[in-house]
Amino acid sequence: MENYQHQAVVLGGSMAGLLAARVLAEHFERVIIVERDELSGEWAGDPVADPREREVRRGVPQGRHPHGMLTAGLNVVEQLFPGATDELIAAGVPSGDVLGNVRFCTNGHRLRQVPIGMTALSFSRPFFENYVRAKVLAMPGIELRAGTDIVGIDADPESRRVIGAFVHRRDAAGVEAVPADLVVDATGRGSRTPRWLTELDYVRPPEEKVQLDLAYVSRHYEVDPEALEGDIAIVIGPSAVAPRGGAVMLQEAGRAVVTLFGILGDHAPLDDPGYRAYARGLPLPYVTDVIERSKPLDDPVKFRYPASVRHRYDLLQRFPKGLVVVGDAMCSFNPMYGQGMSVAAVQALRLGDALQRDGVAGFDALRFFRAVRPVIDIPWQIAVGGDTALPGVDGPSDTRTRLVNRYLDRLYATAAHDEVVSVAFSRVTNLLDPPTALLRPAIAARVLTRRRSAAA
């Protein structure tokens, strides 16, 4: 076996794993990504000529459904792969201003749209992931072991340190041990780290969960170019009175993906008349307007998302050396808020910071988990706050929460006509500012003045 000074193994080759690998390559001589799907690093950037560039793969079934990248995440992608935005646009990914060309509706209000000078991209998830994978695999020292199952992790006899992973190549016999100075678990919601921890005599991380029984039902359309009136995406969030939502996102290759989502079992039907009727039940008509003017290209497909789950690794007192967890394996957010890939991107940067500060030998996962706590806290607060304002979703119902929700109701109504408030809200949902930015006196004054004048 070849010997490497510093070797890292990344479990899972989706967005969190790829972005982590990109950063690890600056600190390890060799980075091995282990992924069960058969993947390659090819990306010709021609989604029209080669539909395989936008094909959904088994390990990431959510890839069929809309995937928006928030500005905070896109900024990291641009930092890690300079020129990425331009390359994706050149390959045919629709782009526009993140507020000026993205129609965002919440609580029955359409936010006022003004250009704020930040680019948004509207791609299919597979096309974007294929691009990022090609970039990552082009880096020296990074290797992909595709078609390979992760069987378990290997630890020293005292279980103090994880020393590698056990993997099984699907077309070969037996299990192979891959040694590593650091194992990064990026296997998504199905992560087995909680179970591995108990097997190694550690405690599982406490878990926070918000039961949603959410389903996305998505379908591709050939859209009438006029149907979106110059926007690249439309997002209608659910409201307390109509807890259903929907989205339209233009994609490369001249298509659009439409999704309809509902919580607590109120899921969109899969037949065409039922699908269209469900869309008419959304708080605003914009998704219906697009559907009625466009030609469906396939049948609706459903994705069930039972609950948002946050594993509180940051609260643990003991954790083995040589192991760390990132991405959905640490926290899986309600997808309606479009946060998962962006949080994974910011986490990757923080992982790089930690390695830079402590070195490979000094890397301390518990310290990393605590350092990324705010990276998770903020989007988690946004998502859980929004969800628990919906009827039937369990969550805090104390006076403070009720007051915050009442304030937000007024803020959304104000943002429909007041561009300062709309910009402030857009910066928060794009993870550029914390939610407390919406309570700043300059914003609160506008929100509360509107309330008084509306009441007068």
Ligand X SMILES: Cc1cc2nc3c(=O)[nH]c(=O)nc-3n(C[C@H](O)[C@H](O)[C@H](O)COP(=O)(O)OP(=O)(O)OC[C@H]3O[C@@H](n4cnc5c(N)ncnc54)[C@H](O)[C@@H]3O)c2cc1C
Backbone angles phi, psi at 213, to 5 degrees: 45, 55
Among 13, 94, 238, 246, the residue binding ligand X under the rule CB under 6 A is 13
Residues 6+ apart with CB under 8 A from 52: none
Q: Could you say whether residue 166 binds ligand X (CB under 6 A)?
A: no
112, amino acid identity: R
Q: Which stretch binds ligand X (CB under 6 A): 203-211, 270-278, 321-329, 363-371?
A: 321-329
Q: Could you say whether residue 68 binds ligand X (CB under 6 A)?
A: yes
Q: Could you say whether residue 38 binds ligand X (CB under 6 A)?
A: no
Among 6, 27, 30, 36, the residue binding ligand X under the rule CB under 6 A is 36
Among 7, 62, 251, 429, the residue binding ligand X under the rule CB under 6 A is 62
Contact pattern from residue 210 through residue 239 relative to ligand X, giving x for each residue in contact according to CB under 6 A and a dash for the rest: ------x-----------------------
Q: How far is CA 209 from CA 6, 103, 310, 362, 387, in A?
A: 37, 30, 6, 32, 12
Q: Total residues at the site for ligand X (CB under 6 A)?
A: 37
Among 97, 119, 208, 303, the residue binding ligand X under the rule CB under 6 A is 303
Q: Is 6 helix (H, G, I), strand (E, B) or coil?
A: coil
Which residue, chain included where needed, has tokens 């500012």? 433
In the β-sheet with 176-179, what is the strand arrangement from edge to edge? 148-155, 162-169, 176-179
Q: Which helix (H) or strand (E) holds 345?
A: helix 340-362
- DSSP letter assigned to residue 161: B
Q: How far is the CB of 111 from ligand X (least distance, A)?
A: 18
Residue whose CB is less far from ligand X, 339 or 430: 339
Among 149, 201, 271, 394, the residue binding ligand X under the rule CB under 6 A is 149
Q: Could you say whether residue 335 binds ligand X (CB under 6 A)?
A: yes
Q: Could you say whether residue 186 binds ligand X (CB under 6 A)?
A: yes
Q: Could you say whether residue 17 binds ligand X (CB under 6 A)?
A: yes
DSSP string, 168-237: EETTSSS-EEEE-SEEEE--GGG--HHHHHHHTT-PPPPEEEEEEEEEEEEEEEEPPTTTTTT-SEEEE-
CA-based diameter of the chain, in Å? Answer: 78
Residue whose CB is less far from ligand X, 144 or 413: 144
Residues in contact with ligand X by CB under 6 A are 12-17, 34-37, 59-60, 62, 65-68, 149-150, 186-190, 216, 303, 305, 327-329, 335, 338-342, 344
